[in-house]
Amino acid sequence: MASRFGIITHMRTRMTYGLLLAITSVSGQAPPQAGRGGGGAVRVAPPARIVTFTVQPASVQAGQPVTLVWAAENPNATTIDQGIGRVTARGSRQVYPTATTSYTLTVTGPNNATLTSSVKVTVTGDKATATPSAPAGLRVDLNGVYGFAGVRGAEPPPLKPGAEKFRIVRGPDDVRGTTTLGTDCKPLGVPQSFVTPYPFQIVQTPKLILMVFEYPNAIRFIPTDGRAHPVDPDPTWMGDSVAHWEGDTLVVDTIGFNDKTEVSGFMHTESLHVVERFRRLENGSLQYDVTVEDPNVFTRPWVLPTRTLPFRPELERVDEFVCETSKDYDKLFNKK
């Protein structure tokens, strides 16, 4: 996750997760496990526990919201029924019951232990005042949090004469692997932002889509109102994007990049042009297809392999990410 000189300070546990992924991407092996092969004591996982599961208020009129609040310790998986599904170990969720409803929190822990706790909401009044529907005016509702998807088997097209200089050659101490997290906390560009092991969030309105990337707090503004690109846009890290719908597929066209980001092992020029296609699958995940072209680097457009960006229903939003360049994380990669 971090490079040789380290890059990241994060207030949540995803930092550790990302670091482990980066190590794996470089070495091809998982980090050593405690108690394996080194004569150390075998770690016994503590049992799972439901700390709390409440609902406030416990009685409402039909169509009014209630808030579920829960906390669990040491879970392998945490779910809530009534269509909510997988959730984080602790959190809250606003729901709109239209009839008296019981909600059950289920926690699966080590050794296949299963714990449950239930709360009941009493609903009175006319059921006709039902749950608000999805935002009006959206052809396909893409709102939500999604995970990353690495690139495998992406064979580049032939390079232009003299373009070999754009190929990135990684050294033995480069721990970035294929995640391309940098040493300077700068945005990663498109489509490289979807490779990093951190989630991103889509906030959708009828005329504008925002993509908020947890690492490193990067944002894309994508108008869907039919406008064209500005003439000669200023070069930026994430480019200038416009989008339109083709059936149930969102097509995003992006130009106006600077030349400071990577595309699957290659640098590029300010002539980079990216076309992305997002299609929501039945399970809520996004099918992601992308074509990149740079007439100064590649002899033809590069169609990267289709990927799936997994829907993360247990996350309501991405976290704040604090990126700091003054930290030295070499010790996490056995560099000292």
Overall average pLDDT of the 122-135 stretch:
61
What average pLDDT score do residues 193-216 get? 94
82: left (phi over 0), alpha (psi -120 to 50) or beta: left
pLDDT in tens, 303-319: 999 999 999 988 989 99
pLDDT at 323: 78
Write down the pLDDT at residue 5: 34
Confidence of residue 174 (pLDDT cuts 50, 70, 90): low
The answer to whether 336 and 18 have CB atoms below 8 angstroms apart is: no
Contact yes or no for 145/201 (Cβ under 8 A):
yes
Choose the weakest-confidence range: 27-41, 93-107, 195-209.
Answer: 27-41
Across 180-194, 240-254, 310-324, the highest mean pLDDT is recorded for 240-254
| C-alpha R_g of the chain | 23
Q: Which of 34-38, 44-48, 135-139, 259-263 has the lowest mean pLDDT?
A: 34-38
- With 80 as the cut, is the pLDDT of residue 221 above it? yes
Most confident of 256-260, 261-265, 317-321: 256-260
Residue 250: pLDDT above 70? Answer: yes
The token pair that represents 260 in the structure block: 């400071």
Element (H, E) at 17: helix 14-27
Residue 67 vs residue 294, higher pLDDT:
294
User: Confidence class of residue 9 from pLDDT cuts 50, 70 and 90?
Assistant: very low
Query: How many angstroms separate the CA atoms of 28 and 31, rounded?
Result: 10
Q: Is 97 helix (H, G, I), strand (E, B) or coil?
A: coil
Q: Show the domains of the chain with their CATH numbers.
A: 8-28+138-333 (2.40.128.20), 49-124 (2.60.40.10)
pLDDT band at residue 12, thresholds of 50, 70 and 90?
Answer: very low
Contact indicator for 21, 28 with CB cutoff of 8 Å = no
> Higher pLDDT residue, 192 or 175?
192
- Is residue 335 predicted with pLDDT exceeding 70? no
Q: What is the number of other CB atoms lying within 10 angstroms of the CB of residue 214?
A: 24
Mean pLDDT for 207-216 is 95
Tell me the β-bridge partners of 102: 120
**Phi-psi group of 6: left, alpha or beta (phi > 0 → left; psi -120 to 50 → alpha; rest → beta):** left
Check: CB of residue 238 under 8 Å from CB of residue 260: no
The better pLDDT of the pair 330, 146 is held by 146
Higher pLDDT residue, 325 or 280? 280
> Do residues 68 and 103 touch, judged by C-beta distance below 8 A?
yes
Sign of dihedral through CA atoms 293, 298, 303, 309? negative
Q: Which burial class, exposed, middle or buried, applies to 140 when counting CB atoms under 10 A from its CB (0-12, 13-18, 19+)? A: middle
Residue-level pLDDT at 25: 40
Q: 275 forms bridges with which residues in the sheet?
A: 253, 291
Asked whether 215 and 37 are in contact (CB, 8 A), the reply is no
State which amino acid sits at residue 46.
P
- Beta-carbon contacts of residue 42 (< 8 Å; ≥ 6 apart): 35
Q: Which residue, 273, 320, 318, is CA-closest to 297?
A: 273
The answer on pLDDT for 86 being more than 70 is yes
Element at 5 (helix H, strand E): none
pLDDT of 226 > 70? The answer is yes
Identify the pLDDT of residue 336.
52
Per the CB < 8 A criterion, the answer to whether 208 and 221 are in contact is yes
170 token code pair: 């990684």
